[in-house]
Structure 1
């Protein structure tokens, strides 16, 4: 089991089947364009957990600074392949992000989770010791 940073277009493309389980609305082309743009413009980083040279889980995050959280890391995406869940892979990736954040001088890690994802909420609160601190609100128009 090994965590590796995904840095190239080929790396990003190789993670699409897993990420698509979470971001089902994205085509492979849209996913790739968005990830590469976010890496270039928004300091987005991706890491994958490999088991026997196969990606089983993926996370994407970015360092941020806000008045509310101060210096922190926002986990944008975290997904484990549906046939690989409950094996500790999500915990391994979040722990990796937390260590990365601490090593870079960031004081916390935050994320949002869809309201209907009760199993994920239990995981974050009970297994990973995260606090539920707010709701996230969104208003959309046009295309993204």
Structure 2
């Protein structure tokens, strides 16, 4: 079952899964960032549940840039390690693609860590995504 997470308790219920991807985030910081992203950036947090337990999560937001035009950016996509390779990532990413089409967005884009070769194979080979750029980051101390 796919469902949007809005309330604090729903957002927190996805934390154990999201923590498998965003290992640097403690629970309260995670909740605060999700809340801010929802309020400021139109971030959507969507979960896939089995037997009442969340097993996969996707976070995405609609965006407009000169490079991509109107598109949806996938910020987070993670499936519980005990449930990987069962098609759940495909289900949620397909959900995001359908959401984007229904809301008149022209594409879906995401970034993936350099060392996540399995994820790259999934995006390119299974989902048909093209590798179009590198993402660069500078942290301020």
Q: What is the TM-score of this pair, normalised by structure 2?
A: 0.99
The residue aligned with 2:6 is 7
1:95 aligns with 2:112: no
- SS for the counterpart of 2:90 is helix
Q: How does 1:1-144 map to 2 (within 5 A)?
A: 2-142=1-141
| C-alpha distance in 1 between matches for 2:86 and 2:101 | 25
Q: Which runs of 5+ in 1 are unaligned?
A: none
| C-alpha distance in 2 between matches for 1:7 and 1:33 | 13
Q: Which runs of 5+ in 2 are unaligned?
A: none
CA shift, 1:31, in A, is: 0.3
CA shift, 1:52, in A, is: 1.1
| C-alpha distance in 1 between matches for 2:101 and 2:52 | 28
Q: Which runs of 4+ in 1 moved over 4 A?
A: none
| C-alpha distance in 1 between matches for 2:106 and 2:40 | 23
| C-alpha distance in 2 between matches for 1:136 and 1:62 | 17
CA shift, 1:95, in A, is: 0.3
| C-alpha distance in 2 between matches for 1:5 and 1:121 | 26
| C-alpha distance in 2 between matches for 1:141 and 1:53 | 41
Paired residues in the alignment total 141
| C-alpha distance in 1 between matches for 2:93 and 2:100 | 10
User: Cα RMSD over matched residues?
Assistant: 0.5
